[in-house]
Amino acid sequence: MNLAGLRLVLIASASAFGVAAATQNITPRGEDLLTLDNGTVKVGIDRAKGAAITWLSWAGYPKNIVNSADPGRLIQQSYYAGLRLDRRAEGQSKSWSPWSWNPIQGGGVGSWARVTEFRRLDDRTLYAETIPNLWDMPNEPAAALMRQWTSFEPAMPDVVVVRCEFVAQREPGDHWGPARLSPQEIPACYFTRNFSTMKTYLGDGAWRDESQPPGPPWGRTTPPRNIMAVFAPDGEGVAVFSPSATQPWNFGPHAGGATDDPVAGPCMHVAPIDRVNLGPRSTYRYRYWLVVGTAAQITARLDALLKKYSAERAELTNP
């Protein structure tokens, strides 16, 4: 089953729950949207939305490209482990039953995750720690911790680099069971619907067009260099480079139209996939890059990134 493809919920009900939950998560500790802006790119993480990336814009596209219609959207960490359980008697959403252990950085059905640390390390790096929620249950924190460092790639002002760390803190022998081979979204990305042209980068300046009818279910494709991009009609776009991906990627549009509204239901989805034995006490680390601009600008940056990072892989301990 295409697990990422099941992430979409009814936007009206999710938004209604999400507004209230997000308000509870806002505190007087300072900014609730931390941003980095180098004059070329602006990227931001939101305390009220699990400290996931909720803002990405650049000189050629000054609007926000990140879709944040519900806690399952955003640009965020998303992991799967253990058995698929029917927990409807405990309040599990009927739409997501049975379901595996699925901690989501943004939050679960109708609920936003809690952020425990949220700060600017320096003028180049944002740092956050999040207690994720389980996707299938309203307001159920996962026994896990997510850490994230968001910054710019050195000497590349149009490239964002994100380092992710996931620490599972489940009790061994719980009802989800031991480690089993499961897909991991590294990361799950949701963009505004106007970025409707999908391409895979093949290397050496070559791109391959991808097509997929609106989902879910999402399409599946294998990018040979672990890079996919979405472009708007004016030629501006964003590429996702995730060298740790080992499986076919999920991708495709949801619903029709060409809205540029970041909180609209229609969106574009891209998710690199790794497959690992994520156990009750596993720690999992990886990095990915977001490259923005025109196809020519993105191509030049991708070629440089591939030379430096194409062999990089995720790190898993205590599988």
State pLDDT tens for residues 12-24. Answer: 333 333 333 333 3
Distance of CA 14 to the CA centre of its chain: 18
pTM of the predicted model as reported, rounded to 2 decimal places: 0.92
Q: Read off the pLDDT of residues 22-56 as tens digits, 9 standing for 90 and up.
A: 333 333 345 699 999 999 999 999 999 999 999 99
Cα 66 from chain centroid? 10
The residues spanned by each domain of the chain are 4-280+290-309
**Which pair of structure tokens corresponds to residue 205?**
């300046």
Q: CA angle, 232 as apex, 229 and 235 as ends, to 5°?
A: 85
Each residue of 171-224: pLDDT tens digit? 999 999 999 999 999 999 999 999 999 999 999 999 999 999 999 999 999 999
Query: What's the whole-number average pLDDT of the chain?
Result: 92
Smallest Cα–Cα separation from 278: which of 198, 204, 170?
A: 170
Calculate mean pLDDT across residues 143-167. 98
pLDDT tens-digit readout, 57-78:
999 999 999 999 999 999 999 9
Domain 4-280+290-309 CATH assignment equals 3.40.1350: no
